[in-house]
Amino acid sequence: MTRIVIVLLALLVAPMSLAQTKVPTTQSEISMGFAPVVKRAAPAVVNIYAKIITSGQPNPFFSDPFFQDFFGGFGAPQQRVQNSLGSGVILSEDGYVVSNYHVVGMASEIQVITTDRREFSATVVLGDEESDIAILRLDEAKDLQALSLRDSDQVEVGELVLAIGNPFGVGQTVSSGIVSGLARSGAATGKARGYFLQTDAPINPGNSGGALIDVNGDLIGINTSILSRSGGSNGIGFAIPANLVREFLRQAREGNEYFVRPWAGIAGQPMNADIAESLGLALPEGVVISDMHTVSPLAQAGFSVGDVVTHVDGEPVNSPSEMMFRMSVTGIGGVSTMTRLRDGERGEVSVAMIEAPDEPPAEDIKLDDQTVLPGLVVARANPAVIAYLGLPLSAKGVVVVDPGPYGARAGLQHGDIVDGINGEAMETTEDIRQALTETGRWVRLDLQRRGQKLSLRFRQ
């Protein structure tokens, strides 16, 4: 009897679960379309209006004191106000909203308008240009309608999806399509490097930061960019997966001022057919470790140069950006299980997710007006500095973190390694301060830039 009851319950529950995601088939279902889903999800999608203050390009003549005196400041660069239009998605009842960094990241004033015409001032509490994600906090917001975040790893190609946003400022608009592809890396605009869902649901300017939802009304991604020659939708749009948005929201709630990514401490390259053949693999898969820092968490877990990482937490990774996405979703303090391929044998290895260590201490300093290059910021190369500046893992010495106005004019760039000044070797940041305080008429900087040696010479 017990077995019969269990079977009957299973038969009753199965159609109910299938009904939540099935494609409409009857005339009555087709006539309703996606209206119930939109009615439930649309109030959680907001319009965002942002003001961005920029400076005009300065005329090089006006840096000359003669022309400054002659023209009396006329023609000097002036500030301009640019208006940015986009969308956002409410993530919590107490006013956390997600949008794109390129919409609000540099804004001086942000207004958020809900579907019921309420207006809120907003502040960016956590933004990241690389991922093109910004988390906003609405002032004095409460009892807002929020969208649930779905596990984006469960999304499949061919699923029906809806894109909700404010294209071209015409007002909230809904478009439909399917998930066209998964694991699209490096396809977004700006500096975003990530792991995107691809959809053919029409996405246009103003949709940025809006919602990509499934047929249950759950958020699976944040619309971020399109591939287009005309600027309009050509049916190739990209959305940031909800799992990464969830980690951003967690860090924002914890009070982080910037998004903290786990540090792998490795350099890797995607597997190709030639490398796969040399390793005796039937198919090209995974990321080949080509370099590794001595204190890398992967090194501590037993990885070596030449190993191949094929999966992170059970999900395939075929590029360094996909691997970083998986680690970012796990977050600092977590543990990821990585599948290692070595000498034809696979194994599961647990790797701790840590921040890039600030050891040995960076000893960063900013030079003052008593030096030749005031405003120059230098630091000692360590894992944290290497990760921040994107330097080779083997970088050593004193590194330019910010050239400052005078350093940039002299030709310095962030990431330059300062080997010597006026023929004297530079070992510490204090050596840099001392050397640029006591100089003659001419200054010579010996540098390493992207693996090349060069010298800059200028008169103070």
What are the C-alpha distances in Å from 354 to residues 171, 253, 296, 319, 331?
A: 43, 19, 9, 20, 8
Whether 414 is catalytic: no
Where residue 45 falls (left for φ over 0; alpha for ψ -120 to 50; beta otherwise) is beta
Phi, psi of 247 (to 5 degrees): -70, -35
Whether 132 is catalytic: yes
Give me the count of residues in the chain.
460
Query: CB of 175 within 8 A of CB of 226?
Result: no
Query: CB of 437 within 8 A of CB of 422?
Result: no
- Pairing assessment for the beta strands 237-241 and 219-226 based on DSSP bridges: antiparallel
**Residue from 262, 88, 105, 227 nearest 165 by CA:** 88
Cα distance between residue 43 and residue 30, in whole Å: 23
The one catalytic residue among 128, 132, 307, 446: 132
H or E element in which residue 385 lies: helix 383-389
Cα distance between residue 56 and residue 6, in whole Å: 72
H or E element in which residue 227 lies: none
Residues with Cβ < 8 Å from 310, sequence gap 6 or more?
Answer: 285, 286, 287, 316, 317, 339, 340, 341, 346
The one catalytic residue among 84, 87, 102, 307: 102
Whether 102 is catalytic: yes
The one catalytic residue among 87, 208, 319, 328: 208
Query: CB of 138 within 8 A of CB of 97?
Result: yes
**Residue from 417, 419, 457 nearest 440 by CA:** 457
Say how many CA atoms lie within 13 Å of 175 toward its Cβ.
20
List residues with catalytic annotation: 102, 132, 208
